[in-house]
Amino acid sequence: MANSVNDKSIESLISASKSLRLSLQKSQGLGSALEKAGNRFEEINQRLPSLEAAVRPIRADKEALAAVGGHINRAVGPAASVLKVFDAVHGLEKSLLSDPRSDLPGYLSLLKRLEEALRFLGDNCGLAIQWLEDIVEYLEDNAVADDRYLSNLKKSLKGLRELQDGEGKANLDGGLLEAALEKLENEFRRLLMEHSVPLPMSSSSSLGEQACIAPSPLPVLVIQKLQAIIGRSIANNRLEKFISIYIEVRSSNVRASLQALNLDYLEISIAEFNDVQSIEGYIAQWGKHLEFAVKHLFEAEYKLCNDVFERIGLDVWMGCFAKIAAQAGILAFLQFGKTVTESKKDPIKLLKLLDIFASLNKLRLDFNRLFGGAACIEIQNLTRDLIKSVIDGAAEIFWELLLQVQLQRQNPPPPDGSVPKLVSFITDYCNKLLGDDYKPLLTQVLIIDRSWKHEKFQEKLLINEVLEIIKAIEINLETWIKAYEDASLSNLFAMNNHWHLYRHLKGTKLGVLLGDAWLKEHEQYKDYYATVFLRDSWGKLPGHLSREGLILFSGGRATARDLVKKRLKTFNEAFDDMYKRQSNWIVSDKDLREKTCHLIVQAVVPVYRSYMQNYGPLVEQDASSSKYAKYSVQTLEKMLLSLFQPKPVRYGSFKGRQTSGKFNNGVTDLRRTTSAVV
């Protein structure tokens, strides 16, 4: 019975336990459901504003709601087109950031497409923004959209408008166009540099040989590529940049071609040389180098500029060429010539100025053609200044030359009786002025100089002036002949100079002008003074060797010996004195010197030889014979034949009084070798 009760109690407990567990599970499920419902309610609460905005158009005015579709369609169409172009631009990016070298035409075609796309964007972005602004305004006016949504739209549109209206307009492509143009610049430079090769010259090369070698023009294909690139540069307002690259590369190429010629002398300044003589070698080089540069290097650049930029216009390619010429060195050439004209005045400078004039005159047509445009105004001005300075300087030196010869008359003659350097210089100088090389140039210079002064020039003026200069030289010689205290030295000087005028002018242009009678007169004067010189100096020596009173017999031998000693002593003293004085005298002309020495030998040596043969034994047996038989015949002859030898030339500056303040800088010098006519 008891067991039966217990069993029922246990079952009741188990049943209650199950019921409680089930209730607990239901409670837990309910709690979980309530928690989820709370989260859902919170989510719904957060979405209510947007849901409210979404359903707002349902509450909007029916007419406004009906019209909004058309506004949206009109705004979306342009915007979609703009977005499509933006996508196209993005599609070009990879190709335009590649190297144009492999396919330049294709690259330029893509660049043109980019330009067209950017023009479309530039033209249509504003329109699309305007349509979008219109729809936003419509939505706002008709309360069709949420205020916060509209505010965000307005903010975005404002940023787009600022980008469209400001500097950002150029960046619609994100900088792709700028990067592509930089690629083109690099390709433009590469094409130029790879095909711009300096001439293979060396400083020792003859320009005559080089003259047939012109710079290789750029291949036609390269020129076409450059022109195509320039076309795109113009479309993008970048022409100046590409021109500057062209000028940089081509001017550098010309400079490299000239560098081998060693043109450092072009930088010389007036302070760096004393006179024209110190740089006359450079002046000769200057003419050859200038002709080579103009006729070959600058001529090639002129043609190439025309080929590359001809489609753009004359002003552009001429301006480009002008800058290349200036940067490559034409200004340095002209400035060197100007520096020469500004150096101190000197007759040698006249010849050098005529050399410069000849070079410029030879290139006159080339200069006018190459540098005649407005872009070359600096080159034109420097050239005109140089030509004017050359003509003014040459004419001034020529017309003052006679005065400078006359001024030197006051200076003493050379103490050695030689030909004054003034005389030798002027005779040679005047012959050069009348020669085929310089006379036409000097005539042209004087014609131009007179025309600037509104005066006429006749050739006889040039001839007469030269003849007046020679006449002045003759007067100088007459003055100097009379200036010697030693008559024998005066005669030697006269002999020297009359022979010089005859010998060095006979058969020359100047000699022909002076005439045979004039030349013959100077030859006769030479003979006359040579005879007088010999008679009054060495011709007197044999008289000391008189045979009078010399009777050789046993009773008179001692007396004869004394007379011989006395006469030999007198002869030796006279010979030593004369030899000492005349050993410093000079006969410059070799033939005249040898002839004069032989005449002296003929006048002295035979008499001395005969005298010594006959009477020498009288004194040779004497203990003091060396005092009287001082010279052997051979020694005497050798000494006489060694007379009048020229000394090593010394170049000094003229020290005469300068009476013309106008020429204090040097025309009075005549040249550094005129040395006070000594």
Identify the pLDDT of residue 215.
Answer: 52
Residue with tokens 């294709």: 106
Integer Cα distance of 369 and 378 in angstroms: 15
Identify the pLDDT of residue 672.
Answer: 36
**What is the pTM for the complete model shown?**
0.73
Q: Report, as ranges of residue numbers, the positions in the chain whose pLDDT lies below 70.
A: 1-10, 12-13, 16-17, 19-21, 23-24, 26-97, 114-174, 200-216, 273-277, 551-556, 621-625, 648-678
DSSP 492-549: HHHHHHHHHHHHHHTTSHHHHHH-HHHHHHHHHHHHHHHHHHHHHTGGGGGGGS--TT
DSSP 143-206: T-S-HHHHHHHHHHHHHHHHHHHSGGGGGTTTTHHHHHHHHHHHHHHHHHHHH-------TTS-
Identify the pLDDT of residue 189.
Answer: 94
**Cβ partners under 8 Å of residue 404, min gap 6:** 347, 660, 663, 667, 668, 670
Q: What are phi and psi of 381, to 5 degrees?
A: -65, -45
CB atoms within 10 A of CB 264: 9
Integer Cα distance of 455 and 435 in angstroms: 25
Look at residues 283, 342, 344 and name the one whose alpha carbon lies nearest to residue 672. Answer: 344
**Cβ partners under 8 Å of residue 278, min gap 6:** none
**Cβ partners under 8 Å of residue 352, min gap 6:** 276, 280, 283, 340
DSSP secondary structure letter of residue 279: G
Integer Cα distance of 547 and 615 in angstroms: 9
Q: Are 192 and 249 in contact (CB under 8 A)?
A: yes
Integer Cα distance of 223 and 220 in angstroms: 5
Identify the pLDDT of residue 662.
Answer: 34
Sequence-ordered alpha helix ranges (H) in 60-103: 62-96
Integer Cα distance of 78 and 340 in angstroms: 74
| pLDDT tens string 8-24 | 666 766 776 676 667 66
Q: What are phi and psi of 172, to 5 degrees?
A: -60, -25
Integer Cα distance of 324 and 311 in angstroms: 19
DSSP three-state, residue 120: helix
